[in-house]
């Protein structure tokens, strides 16, 4: 399976936020989308997830045009985890059952309950499964959101800043979890060093366009300067480039 993003453009009012974005992802690859605030990273993910309507372009899974699928079929191919995880009165099990919403009509079936329980076991969420989500910590809430996306059983998961507002321990835990799932994923990240360590491919955006894409070997001080307008040094640690601000 190959995911192809072909010529996606998005405008808000008269401003063009995304300008003809195209790239490809191989099965099982984790791709990080990086760039300054306002570069269009979150808009790209929302447009790919059909939360925003693309002006042109589409997302293809092999030769299948995902944007042409009916809503319930589309969400079985592509799941989206937003930047802002809301906590509410639903408990964790109910929250996770939402991942099965496109699979059942009137009420969840035995199969739906089993699928949810499987993921609860896999991610060790049993101790919090009856807890209201408003009582969860930031890390737990993010884990539940990822679990919900897994339950959706889509081919691709899009995650908008999954490490947002988390301490370093939880950030690493979440990224390790994503890596262990062996699923195709696109995530918006701010920490370039974490992206280098955990992602297979890096996409750098600026002003609604892709400036650079490739694996960690493309990282140079010039690239960082082009993308973020800052001077950095790059050193190596266990074969990985590490960015040090000057």
Partner 1 sequence: MRDYLKYRRNKKILSIVFLLILIIVMLFFVFYKADEFVVYNIRLPRVLAAAVVGAMLGLSGAVMQGILKNRLASPFTLGISHGALFGVSVSLVLLGGAYMFLSAFLGGIFVIVLIFLFSLRIFSKETLILCGIAISAIFASFSMFLQYFANEVELSHIINWSFGDLSKATFESVKVCFLVLAVSMAYFYVKRWDFNALEIEESENLGVDVKKLSVISLFLATLLSTLSVSYFGIIGFIGLIAPHFARLIVGGSYENLFFLSAVLGAMLLSVSDFLARNVLYPVEIPVGIITSFLGGVVFLYLLLRKKNEA
Nearer to partner 1, 85 or 171 (CB): 85
Instruction: Determine phi and psi for 85, rounding to 5 degrees.
Output: -90, 115
Q: Please give the radius of gyration of the chain, using alpha carbons only, rounded to the nearest integer.
A: 18
Q: Which of 138, 148, 139 lies closest to 92 in space, CA to CA?
A: 148
Among 37, 63, 84, 239, binds partner 1 (CB under 8 A): 84
Among 17, 31, 81, 146, binds partner 1 (CB under 8 A): 81
Among 41, 66, 80, 241, binds partner 1 (CB under 8 A): 80
Nearer to partner 1, 126 or 225 (CB): 126
CA distance 75 to 91: 22
Sole residue written with tokens 């082009």 = 226
Among 62, 104, 111, 237, binds partner 1 (CB under 8 A): 104
Nearer to partner 1, 32 or 158 (CB): 158
Sole residue written with tokens 């009012």 = 13
Among 35, 99, 162, 208, binds partner 1 (CB under 8 A): 99
| Alpha-helical segments (H) within the chain | 41-48, 71-77, 92-97, 110-122, 138-151, 168-181, 192-198, 221-228
Binding mask 115-154 for partner 1 (x = CB under 8 A): -xx-----------xx-x-------------------x--
CA–CA–CA angle 111, 115, 120 (5° rounding): 145
Is 109 an interacting residue with respect to partner 1 (CB under 8 A)?
A: no
Is 51 an interacting residue with respect to partner 1 (CB under 8 A)?
A: yes
Nearer to partner 1, 110 or 236 (CB): 110
């Amino acid at each position: 399976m190959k995911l192809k993003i072909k010529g996606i453009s998005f405008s808000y009012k008269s401003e063009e936020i995304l300008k003809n974005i195209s790239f490809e992802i191989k099965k099982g690859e984790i791709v990080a989308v990086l760039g300054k605030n306002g570069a269009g990273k979150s808009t790209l993910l929302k447009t790919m997830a059909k939360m925003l309507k693309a002006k042109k372009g589409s997302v293809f899974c092999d030769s299948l045009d995902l944007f042409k699928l009916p809503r319930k079929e589309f969400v079985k191919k592509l799941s989206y985890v937003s930047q802002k995880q809301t906590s509410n009165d639903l408990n964790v099990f109910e929250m996770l059952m939402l991942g099965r919403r496109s699979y059942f009509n009137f009420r969840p079936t035995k199969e739906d309950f089993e699928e949810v329980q499987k993921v609860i076991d896999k991610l060790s969420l049993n101790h919090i499964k009856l807890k209201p989500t408003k009582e969860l910590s930031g890390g737990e809430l993010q884990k539940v959101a990822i679990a919900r996306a897994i339950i959706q059983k889509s081919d691709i998961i899009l995650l908008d800043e999954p490490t947002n507002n988390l301490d370093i321990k939880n950030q690493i835990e979440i990224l390790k979890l994503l890596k262990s799932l062996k699923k195709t994923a696109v995530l918006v990240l701010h920490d370039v060093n974490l992206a280098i360590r955990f992602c297979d491919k890096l996409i750098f955006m600026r002003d609604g366009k892709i400036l650079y894409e490739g694996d960690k070997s493309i990282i140079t001080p010039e690239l960082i300067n082009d993308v973020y307008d800052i001077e950095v040094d790059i050193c190596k640690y266990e074969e990985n480039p590490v960015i040090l601000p000057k």
